[in-house]
Amino acid sequence: MEFYGYETSKFVTIRGRDVTVEFDGTYTDKYMPAWIDPEIRVFKDIFNEGITGNAQRLPLNDTTYKIYNCRLMLLPVAEEKCDIINKIGDVALVEGIAALDQVNGSVKLPNITEKFTTGKGIFTAHGLLETTGGIFRDLTTLQRSENIEITRAGNKYSASASIQMSTAELHFSNYKLSYGIIKLDGEFDIRVAGVKLQAAASIDYSQKPCLPRIEKIKVSELGKVDVAFTGLGIFNSVLGTVVDGIIRFLKVLLTRLLEEELMKMAGDAFKDFDCEKFRPG
């Protein structure tokens, strides 16, 4: 067995057959995906002495293999296991959304009081935004966008996944905005054309019952943000200037609000997830 390349991709020859191996970059016995089949594996000496043990019995009619933490697996097997894990994740996501405290498909948001500054030098303007009656509309657009990745440390399983929302809509029934000489109040809506999130969760099976936990939710990409205000009155003609002046502030606020609120919502919902029905045998 010969290796060419480094870390992320390996081109190898096994008993005269050329195959491609993908390596996840992690070399440790402690962490390995939960779905690894011990009958098809590569031992620690993979880089020194080649394939040993049970791995010698791998069929060679497939041309692509994957190495997960120095374990070799036929790609079709890995894909089949990934599909099962993805389905479990999808069920958890649907159950989590259904478990949220929703009213007509919306979730309440906390009141906001935020100071902000835009511009530089003599063009600096200070603002204050206060909101009440905020709601997050239609979380049903949340869905997994990539395969879920699983790692294992003892009896603790950790999962990470990319999640996206086709649209994110927030409505605030009452706002007060001070921005330079402008003072406004009324209602306003925020619509984001696409949000991508990176989420991580874990299930600890060393305890009984098992302990599910949301580890993190981070916004990785925020689409175009559209804002609609009421109560502009005589300032309607300068709407573009007002929105342009606070749009960067709103993106920062939205990112934090989405991360904090989705983390809280997911944590509240995920704690009731029945992980016992997936306890490893």
For the segment 242-251, what is each residue's pLDDT rounded down to a tens digit?
Answer: 566 667 778 8
For the segment 230-269, what is each residue's pLDDT rounded down to a tens digit?
Answer: 876 656 555 555 566 667 778 888 888 888 888 888 887 7
**Mean pLDDT calculated for residue range 25-44:** 34
158, 150 Cβ separation under 8 angstroms:
yes
51, 72 Cβ separation under 8 angstroms:
yes
Task: Please tell me the predicted confidence (pLDDT) of residue 55.
Answer: 35
CATH architecture of 100-275: Super Roll (3.15)
Task: Please tell me the predicted confidence (pLDDT) of residue 99.
Answer: 66
Tally the residues of the chain. Answer: 281
Number of neighbours of residue 204 by Cβ within 10 angstroms: 16
Per-residue tokens: 30 = 């402690």
Q: What stretches of the chain show up as alpha helix (H) in DSSP?
A: 46-49, 75-99, 239-270
Can you give the pTM of this predicted structure?
0.60
Task: Please tell me the predicted confidence (pLDDT) of residue 235.
Answer: 60
| Domain locations along the chain | 2-83, 100-275
C-alpha closest to that of 112 among 133, 126, 127: 133
Task: Please tell me the predicted confidence (pLDDT) of residue 130.
Answer: 93
Instruction: State yes or no: pLDDT of 25 exceeds 60.
Output: no
C-alpha closest to that of 164 among 200, 186, 122, 194: 194
For the segment 41-51, what is each residue's pLDDT rounded down to a tens digit?
Answer: 332 223 333 33
